[in-house]
Amino acid sequence: MRALADFVYTFSWRLPGRRWRRLLAFAEAEAESALELRCAAAATSDPERAALYLKHAADEARHAEILQRRATLARGSAVSLPRRGHARLFERFGEPVFIAYVHRGERRGRRQFEAHVRFFERRDPALAAALKSILADERRHESYTAELLAGPLADGAPAARRRARRVDLGDRWRRVGSALTGPLFAVLMLLLYVLAAPLALGARGDRAGWRTHD
């Protein structure tokens, strides 16, 4: 089962030209998380949690730099991070939902990074080492957010987790939808072309028959 999960997670690494793009996409996600966490640090009423969020934001910003550097190496020329905004999740949903959402993302990220480390361990040890250093932080992020949900943010944590799950699933669905738009369009066009081929041939036959009647 793990082998299948690894294959699915790492499939796109095998496609030509995908490695640097994927690393850059990871870097973008890390930079976006750093922004979210800086906003959360400014918005929370608790100074201890503000310090935790700032530390977490610094980790994510460092991950973005590491991944951007690895993307540059994989491409063989410099890549830059596009300036992106963030979803202002803390503002929109409040602290418990925000932390439940972050926890879900960290857990998923940790699992995926574990699969990526396994994939690159022999293929590209330097990249595997960089991913491993990030993985150690992701494990810490996953556990401190769980502790917050079990401790200071425990009030209403089950409802917050449910809400975070809905928000997360909605986000992921939108991301899959936008990622599929291009390929899906190409597949539909190909299908249309294949289905239309007999009609086109028939039309040509009709025209030919027409001419013979002329």
CA dist., res. 199 & res. 80, Å (int): 48
Closer residue to Fe ion, CB minimum distance, 28 or 30: 30
Considering the complex, what minimum distance in angstroms separates the CB of residue 179 from Fe ion? 21
Give the DSSP letter string of 105-163: HHHHHHHHHHHHHHHHHHH-HHHHHHHHHHHHHHHHHHHHHHHHHHTTT-TTHHHHHHH
Closer residue to Fe ion, CB minimum distance, 7 or 71: 71
C-alpha to C-alpha distances, 136 to 30, 63, 132, 157, nearest whole angstrom: 15, 11, 6, 26
Considering the complex, what minimum distance in angstroms separates the CB of residue 138 from Fe ion? 5
Q: Quote the DSSP letter at residue 82.
A: P
Closer residue to Fe ion, CB minimum distance, 114 or 138: 138
Closer residue to Fe ion, CB minimum distance, 29 or 50: 29
User: Under the rule (CB under 5 A), what is the footprint of Fe ion?
Assistant: 30, 60, 63, 106, 138, 141
Considering the complex, what minimum distance in angstroms separates the CB of residue 161 from Fe ion? 18
Considering the complex, what minimum distance in angstroms separates the CB of residue 122 from Fe ion? 24
Q: Which two tokens stand for residue 177?
A: 């939808």
